[in-house]
Amino acid sequence: MRKQIAAANWKMNLSKNEADSLLDQLVASELNLSENQSAIFAVPAIYIPLAIQKLAGKQQMFVAAQNCHQKANGAYTGEIAASMYASVGVNHIVLGHSERREFFAESDSLLAEKTEAVLAIGSTPIFCCGEPLSIREAGTQNSFVEAQLKNALFQLSADQIIKVVIAYEPIWAIGTGKTATSAQAQEIHAYIRSVFASKYGQTVADQISILYGGSVKAANAKEIFSQPDVDGGLVGGASLIATEFTAIINALKS
C-alpha cells in the first residue's frame, strides 16, 4: 500500500507560546502510526527548531517546511534553501501551494526548479496542484490540473517522480468550509493517477501518494480517506486544533 499521510499546514499562524502548546497536545495525543502512515507538520520556518525538538523520537512524525528557494545558495536575502532545511533535520517541503501561486506569482516553471532542488538533496517535495472555482464550474478541472502536473513535473525520471507526494487542493474548498464530496475527490485523484500512468506507467503511478487538501476536518476525514486513490490529506485550519488533527491522523487507512 502507498504511504498514507496526514500533513498539517500551519500557514502563517500561531505565536510561539501557541505553537508550543499545540505541539505538546499533539505529542500527548494517542497516535498509533504504522510504518505505512506518516504525520507531517509544515510549520512556519521560525518554529522549525521547536517542532523538531518536540517531535524528537516520535515514530513516523516529521517536520516540513512550507516553501524553499530554487537555488542552493546565493544573494537571495530572506530566502531559505532546501539544503538549509535538510541540515537541521527537515526533509519534507511543501511546494506550489495555491497561496504561493496566487500571492507570490509562482509559476509551473519555477516550481519545476524548486522540485528538482528538493529532490537533488534527497528530500521529499509535497507538490500542490488544484483548480479555482471558475475552472471547476466550467468543468475543465481535469485538463487544468493535468497541465500543472505536466508543466512542473514531467521532466522528472520515474525514479524521481515516485519520491514526490502530490497534494490536490481544490482552491474553492480551501478555508471556505466547502469540501469536495468523497466521490469528487476520488474522481480527480484517480484522474491525477492516470496522468502519471500515461507518462510513467501504471506501476509507477500506483506508488505515488496523492493527498486531498480542502477543508478536511475530523468529521469528514475518514470518508474522504477511504477512497481508493486518496492517500491522506493536506490540512489547514483543522491542523491548528489538536483534537481535530489527532482525529484526522487516526482516520488514515491502515
pLDDT in tens, 178-213: 778 899 999 999 999 999 999 999 999 999 999 999
Q: Residue 175: is its pLDDT beyond 80?
A: no
At residue 193, the pLDDT reads 98
At residue 55, the pLDDT reads 96
List the domain boundaries for the chain: 4-250
Q: How far apart are CA 126 and CA 142, in angstroms?
A: 20
What is the average pLDDT across 32-58? Answer: 96
Residue type, 164: V
Residue 143 cell numbers, joined: 485538463
From residue 103, how far is each of 97, 110, 136 by CA, in Å?
10, 14, 20
State the helix-helix crossing angle for 48-55 and 16-28, rounded to 10 degrees: 20
Q: What is the pLDDT of residues 69-92, one digit of tens each?
A: 999 999 999 999 999 999 999 999
What is the average pLDDT across 32-37? Answer: 93
Q: Are strands 37-42 and 61-65 parallel, antiparallel or unpaired?
A: parallel
Supply the pTM of this predicted model.
Answer: 0.97
Residue 101 cell numbers, joined: 501561486
Which of the following is catalytic: 97, 99, 131, 189?
97
User: Domain spanning 4-250: which superfamily?
Assistant: Aldolase class I (3.20.20.70)
Residue 39 cell numbers, joined: 504525520
97 is catalytic: yes
Computed on alpha carbons and rounded to an integer, the radius of gyration of the chain in Å comes to: 17
pLDDT band for 148, please (50, 70, 90 cuts): very high
Provide the phi-psi class of 30: left if phi over 0, else alpha when psi is between -120 and 50, else beta: beta
169 is catalytic: yes
What is the average pLDDT across 163-180? Answer: 86
Which of the following is catalytic: 99, 106, 169, 244?
169
